[in-house]
Amino acid sequence: MNKQLVTDYNNLNEILDETRKVASNHLTKLHELPPGRFIEDIKFKNLPDKGIGALQVLRYFKKEYASQLANSAGPRYFGFVTGGSTPAALVGDWLVSAYDQNACGSNDSIAPQIERQTIHFFKQLFGLDDEYFGSFVSGATISNMVSLAIARQWAGEQIGIDVSEEGVSSVSNVQVVSATNHSSTVKSLAVLGIGRKAMIKIDTLPDREAIDVDKFEKFLSEYHSDPINVNPLILIANAGTVNTVDFDDLIAIGKLREKYKFWLHVDAAFGGFAAVSKKYEHLMSGINHADSITIDAHKWLNVPYDAAMQFTRHKKLQLKVFQNSAAYLGDPDKSPDFFHYTPENSRRFRALPSWMTLMAYGKEGYQEIVERNCDCAKQLANWIETSTKFVLLSPVRMNVVCFTFNEPHVSMGKIQTYLAKVRDDGRVFFTQTMYKGTPAIRAAISNWQTETKDIAITIEALTEL
């Protein structure tokens, strides 16, 4: 065995102790460290012929790079929709690497069963019918992609074609509609060969990002009355849009399915967590009409990257798309194994951090995080309403505050310059957006540690800058 490997194996306890110190040193400073940082391009170094061993490389990493990482797990990182990692989730994630399971097959490990158990917890957490089949993927983008791949298989079936066998060219006219879909769904259409142009936008309600259901019904009646347009239709509905956390009316959309045929996919990447709170659960009413659902774990569940769930009522269609036939992998029709249902063959045991955190904090714990984050968003919005410098672009429904400068014709350049200044100040981090044509700032509050005092610091920074 390579000498360095032998040394490291013999020093494993020391290496792990020092790693724990580096990690806990970082984790105890999450409240102080600047959330985002400006980083210049690094100059690449040459690959060493002779390795330096785990302890030395750990020290090198700590000295050269660690202080330049984003403090995105901290309480005032409000960019994108970013969760941190609860203590229990972190324990789970560390152990995933220590045990290094391949959570695909069921012949040698309990890992896939823990994944099924975790999916069962999630169905209870989100109020999903027991009939849904669920699995873990690496993020909401891939969950949307898997969902739309199953939808594409359904679309083929509507016209007597097995797309998984015949190829996507056999269903060239699949139509996709949405009101305010996340960009990852369009990316998925490109990956799946359905094409970005297959997307038709339906109008939203006035001053909203939610679909105008009457207009959608009008679209459906015209679409179905046109004999040329008998093409299968997929609706991508939203349970929590990125800018304003708006929700499509899933009950009304579900009712339309009694009259018209279409696949209903719901992107509930973070909005799905409305279901954990009595205050917000009405927003998720009707979710069980969905054929497929996307919910992220690395956002509001606060588990480390990368983890999301994909749910579907059409397990057989999923099997048709993702089955991985090989003698050594068993008969797909009989096997429950995940490599017949998900894009990957070998898979990280990414259910474990979710299982740990759900066991550790339960539904009550998540209700508290979601409600506290939403209260923090309201606290910030209330201040913006009284400010002369900023203006809210939308009421705050849950955990995202979308605002801009209180002046005419704000440019994206001005927003970017300001956000860079805010980042370099080091107290808070936001990302830019465009809301109905207006360049804007988004604060998405989804970290388990964010509290009222963090919003006070945020307001102080915004006031000073």
Ligand X SMILES: Cc1ncc(COP(=O)(O)O)c(C=O)c1O
Three-class SS state of 145: helix
Q: Which of 308, 381, 398, 462 binds ligand X (CB under 6 A)?
A: 308
The reply on whether position 347 binds ligand X by CB under 6 A is: no
**Among the residue ranges 24-32, 252-260, 262-270, 388-396, the one whose residues contact ligand X (CB under 6 A):** 262-270
Is residue 276 within a helix (H) or strand (E), and if so which, with residue range? none
Contacts of 429 (CB under 8 A, 6+ apart): 34, 35, 36, 70, 72, 76, 77, 78, 79, 422, 423
Nearer to ligand X, 194 or 266 (CB): 266
CB of 79 to ligand X, least distance (A): 10
Q: In what order do the strands lie in the sheet with 133-137?
A: 133-137, 308-312, 292-296, 263-267, 233-238, 175-178, 199-201
Q: Which of 209, 246, 249, 267 is the binder for ligand X (CB under 6 A)?
A: 267
Check binding of 188 to ligand X (CB under 6 A).
Answer: no
What single-letter DSSP state applies at residue 353? H
Establish if 242 lies at the interface with ligand X (CB under 6 A): yes
**Least separation in angstroms between CB 110 and ligand X:** 27
Residue bearing tokens 């917000």 = 280
* 442 sits near ligand X (criterion: CB under 6 A): no
> Which segment (29-37, 157-165, 194-202, 267-275) binds ligand X by CB under 6 A?
267-275
Which one of 15, 140, 369, 443 is in contact with ligand X (CB under 6 A)? 140
141 binds ligand X (CB under 6 A): yes
Of residues 68 through 127, those in contact with ligand X by CB under 6 A are: 80-81
| Least CB distance to ligand X at residue 424 (A) | 24
Which distant-in-sequence residues (6+ apart) come within 8 Å of 295 by Cβ? 122, 126, 140, 143, 268, 269, 272, 308, 309, 311
| Binding map of ligand X across residues 167-186, x = CB under 6 A, - = no contact | ---------------x-x--
Closer to ligand X by CB, 123 or 187: give it.
187
Residue 303 interacting with ligand X (CB under 6 A): no
Helix segments in 192-294, DSSP class H: 213-225, 250-256
What is the secondary structure of 393-445 as a DSSP string? SS---SSEEEEEESSSS--HHHHHHHHHHHHHHTS-B-EEEEETTEEEEEEE-
Q: How far is the CB of 96 from ligand X (least distance, A)?
A: 18
Helix (H) or strand (E) segment spanning residue 86: none
Contacts with ligand X, residue ranges (CB under 6 A): 80-81, 139-141, 182, 184, 240, 242, 267, 269-270, 296, 308
